[in-house]
């Protein structure tokens, strides 16, 4: 059986330079060759470099499209795929691939490392080995393999900045795949999605500016779905409605999700067209907004639909 590893960059393939760690060609390739030679993995693994290699802090929706396009172009030639990626935006890319790859009937495993393979004691070897093996055993869909866990690609988030066990997943949800008769890769455009977090006493000026200038708003609201009942916020939400741009809300709490209308303080959101993000992660919600804005149909209907188990 044949598999393709798409190396995008990130810590796993970095080496020390005079300016700090930076991606370098050859690091991941050498480790894959060593694992094959030792017999730790079976099957044939080819490697595709997504050049230039990225620090994931520089990743953008265009890069999500590039990864999805490689998978679509090589889909018939391989039985599964591994994507190596920097951890800082890994959860965004995993969610974006869930939305982009409609009709996916093979496993796509996204992984990375907290320490480079070039550093003694790196977690990269384990994560890479586990991911290569997961291409043989994982159900079809987009998954994140990290620190011994196989996690739902649209329900995972980075929860720690230094520990090897850096990711957490919201339990439950349908499998991380969109149903379809055949693979179709949806691309991402250049939409401007503003992320705005509620905080006590925060000026609503930025909300009004974003409602005027952005293509969509992602609101990080309190608890189970509350926000300040301010005239400025109401004006911003009504301006977004007038412009026909989607406004999606998710909870600032990492677990539990939200339900608009639970508290009266959430009425300002519910009554002004805000879409309930339920228990979506920020990463999945952001990627879904980009996906909906690139969708040829109604973005609001797309956002209200459960596409790949991103919410319960």
Residue ranges for the binding site? 56, 87-88
CB 95 within 8 A of CB 288: yes
**Domain range summary for the chain, segments of one domain joined by +:** 2-185, 193-304
pLDDT in tens, 72-88: 999 999 999 999 999 99
Is residue 204 annotated as part of the catalytic site, yes or no? no
- Which of 4, 186, 1 has the alpha carbon at shortest distance from 104? 186
Of 108-117, 173-182, 187-196, 213-222, the one with minimum mean pLDDT is: 173-182
pLDDT in tens, 269-287: 999 999 999 999 999 999 9
CA distance 81 to 216: 32
> Among the options 8, 11, 111, 281, which is catalytic?
11
Q: Where are the beta strands (DSSP E) in 155-252?
A: 156-158, 167-169, 184-185, 193-197, 216-221, 247-251
- The helix/strand/coil state of 194 is strand
What is the CATH topology of the domain spanning 193-304?
Rossmann fold (3.40.50)
* Same fold across 2-185 and 193-304: yes
Report pTM. 0.96
SS3 content of the chain, % helix, strand, coil (to 5): 35, 25, 40
CB 66 within 8 A of CB 53: no
CB-based burial label for 37 (10 Å; 0-12, 13-18, 19+): exposed
- The helix/strand/coil state of 141 is strand
CA distance 157 to 91: 5
Residue ranges for the binding site for substrate? 56, 87-88
> Among the options 8, 17, 42, 87, which is catalytic?
87
CB 208 within 8 A of CB 194: no
Is residue 87 annotated as part of the catalytic site, yes or no? yes
- Which residue is listed with tokens 């911003």? 236
Q: Which CATH number fits domain 2-185: 3.40.50.1220, 3.50.50.60, 3.40.50.1170, 3.40.50.720?
A: 3.40.50.1170
What mean pLDDT value characterizes the chain? 96
| Torsion from C-alpha of 92, 125, 31, 16, nearest 10 degrees | 70
pLDDT in tens, 216-238: 999 999 999 999 999 999 999 99
pLDDT (0 to 100) of residue 179: 86
């Amino acid at each position: 059986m044949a598999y393709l590893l798409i190396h995008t960059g990130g810590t796993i393939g970095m080496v020390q330079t005079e300016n700090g760690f930076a991606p370098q060609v050859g690091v991941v390739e050498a480790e894959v060759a060593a694992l094959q030679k030792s017999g730790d993995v079976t099957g044939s693994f080819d490697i595709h470099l997504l050049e230039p290699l990225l620090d994931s802090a520089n990743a953008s929706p265009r890069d999500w499209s590039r990864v999805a396009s490689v998978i679509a172009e090589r889909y018939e030639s391989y039985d599964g795929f591994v994507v190596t990626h920097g951890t800082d935006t890994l959860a965004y890319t995993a969610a974006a691939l869930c939305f982009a790859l409609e009709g996916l009937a093979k496993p796509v495993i996204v992984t990375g490392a907290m320490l480079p393979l070039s550093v003694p004691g790196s977690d990269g070897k384990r994560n890479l080995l586990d991911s290569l093996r997961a291409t043989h055993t994982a159900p079809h869909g987009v998954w994140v393999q990290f620190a011994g866990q196989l996690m739902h690609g649209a329900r995972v988030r980075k929860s720690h900045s230094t520990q090897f066990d850096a990711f957490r997943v919201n339990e439950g949800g349908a499998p991380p795949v969109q149903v379809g008769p055949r693979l179709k890769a949806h691309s991402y455009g250049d939409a401007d999605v503003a992320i705005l977090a509620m905080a006590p006493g925060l000026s609503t000026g930025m909300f009004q500016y974003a409602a005027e200038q952005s293509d969509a708003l992602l609101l990080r609201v309190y608890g189970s779905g509350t926000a300040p009942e301010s005239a400025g916020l109401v004006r911003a939400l009504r301006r977004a409605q007038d412009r026909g741009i989607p406004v999606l809300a998710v909870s600032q709490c990492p677990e539990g999700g939200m339900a608009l209308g639970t508290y009266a303080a959430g009425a300002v959101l519910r009554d002004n067209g805000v879409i309930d993000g339920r228990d979506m992660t920020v990463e999945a919600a952001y990627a879904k907004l980009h996906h909906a804005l690139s969708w040829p149909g109604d973005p609001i209907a797309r956002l209200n639909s459960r596409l790949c188990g991103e919410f319960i």
